[in-house]
């Protein structure tokens, strides 16, 4: 476990030394990693920092409004890039290709925004598990392995690169960030795209977004999982109002974990599962059935792709 105050001092110095007089852009997603990065960099370089929130169209329900109000006082730029992301994802079904397409888009948008703001450096909230999973070839995280090499930034600053998630949460506490941010569930960089098997479309994302919101409402407060979410895993037959339909199968996942490297499914009470299934099928017209995933990691991963 890191010594939080020492870590904060060292990170602030590292950011200040690396940035010099340059402007620095960063992706602010509102998750604990990027929020901690933003807070450290604000301490280090004040308004040389330009935090950018990219609305990829792949974010959770209400996320963009939440970020706007949470970071209302920061020098925040909100970029509406949903159409660009959906275009980039059209026709792609391979999970790694999806990640690469999203990673590439992300970087291009930052290059574009950096030019607009005069920023020459990039700050990233990469944490230790992101690095080892990318190096081990398990998957390319959009913020590491998926990064194209012709990047135009002068330098990249990754102050959290040696920390595990629980250590990042401790640093968030040390920085006095709101408890809501400190305890937020991890959310993958490629967003809801990895919670739709196969090709990503606006319609599928709209469905999985609603399902994720219901799962979070049902589970987060009561069971405090490491992560819980819904994924669209395929089509199956159902019957709604006397009509047979070919509808989506939603898989619900709720896991406990220390660092995301291994995970165990939560043994949720049956009535909680039944209520959640009823809500998802009743509130989302295109969903025909709901299943609960009881596979640990390994052998499964936490996300579906």
| Binding range to ligand XMP, per CB under 6 A, among 73-81, 89-97, 109-117, 185-193 | 185-193
DSSP output for 43-87: HHHGGGEEEEEEE-S-SPTTHHHHHHHHTTTS--EEEE-HHHHHH
d(CA 259, CA 43): 27
Q: Which of 105, 142, 184, 209 binds ligand XMP (CB under 6 A)?
A: 142
95 belongs to the binding site for ligand XMP (CB under 6 A): no
For ligand XMP, the binding residues in 98-117 under the rule CB under 6 A are 99
- Give the shortest CB-295-to-ligand XMP separation in angstroms: 11
Residues 171, 176, 181, 185, Cα dihedral to 10°: 30
- Whose tokens are 């960089």? That residue is 189
Compute φ and ψ for 36, nearest 5 degrees.
-65, -45
What would the two tokens of residue 182 be?
């400190």
Q: Which of 260, 268, 281, 287 binds ligand XMP (CB under 6 A)?
A: 260
For ligand XMP, the binding residues in 30-69 under the rule CB under 6 A are none
Number of residues binding to ligand XMP, judged by CB under 6 A? 16
Whether the bond into 280 is cis, omega within 30 of 0 = no
| Binding range to ligand XMP, per CB under 6 A, among 52-60, 87-95, 116-124, 183-191 | 183-191
In the complex with ligand XMP, which residue's Cβ is closer, 34 or 42? 34
Per-residue mark of binding to ligand XMP, 216-235 (x: CB under 6 A): -----------x--------
3-state helix, strand, coil in the chain (%, to 5): 45, 20, 35
d(CA 233, CA 211): 12
- Give the shortest CB-61-to-ligand XMP separation in angstroms: 17
Q: Which residues bind ligand XMP (CB under 6 A)?
A: 99, 139, 141-143, 186, 188-190, 194, 227, 260, 297, 301-303
């Amino acid at each position: 476990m890191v010594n939080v105050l020492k870590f904060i001092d060292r990170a602030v110095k590292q950011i200040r030394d690396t940035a010099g007089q340059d402007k620095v852009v960063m992706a602010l997603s509102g998750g604990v990693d990027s929020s901690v990065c933003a807070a450290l960099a604000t301490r280090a370089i004040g308004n040389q920092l330009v935090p950018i929130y990219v609305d990829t169209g792949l974010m959770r329900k209400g996320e963009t409004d939440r970020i706007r109000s949470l970071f209302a006082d920061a020098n925040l730029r909100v970029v509406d890039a949903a159409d660009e992301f959906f275009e980039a994802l059209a026709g792609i079904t391979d999970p790694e290709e999806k990640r690469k397409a999203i990673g590439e888009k992300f970087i291009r948008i930052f290059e574009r925004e950096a030019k607009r703001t005069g920023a020459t450096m990039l700050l990233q909230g990469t944490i230790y598990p992101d690095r080892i999973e990318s190096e081990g070839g398990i998957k390319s995280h959009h913020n590491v392995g998926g990064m194209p090499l012709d990047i135009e930034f002068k330098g990249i600053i990754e102050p959290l690169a040696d920390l595990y998630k629980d250590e990042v949460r401790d640093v968030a506490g040390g920085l006095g960030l709101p408890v809501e941010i400190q305890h937020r569930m991890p959310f993958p960089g490629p967003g809801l795209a990895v919670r739709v098997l196969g090709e990503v479309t606006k319609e599928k994302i709209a469905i999985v977004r609603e399902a994720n919101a219901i799962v979070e409402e049902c589970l987060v407060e009561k069971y405090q999982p490491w992560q819980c979410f819904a994924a669209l895993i395929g089509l199956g037959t159902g019957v709604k109002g006397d009509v047979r339909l070919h509808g989506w199968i939603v898989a619900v996942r709720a896991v406990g974990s220390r660092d995301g490297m291994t995970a165990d499914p939560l043994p949720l009470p049956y009535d909680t599962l039944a209520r959640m299934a009823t809500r998802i099928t009743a509130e989302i017209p295109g969903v025909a059935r709901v299943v609960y995933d009881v596979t640990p990691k390994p052998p499964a991963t936490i996300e579906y792709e």
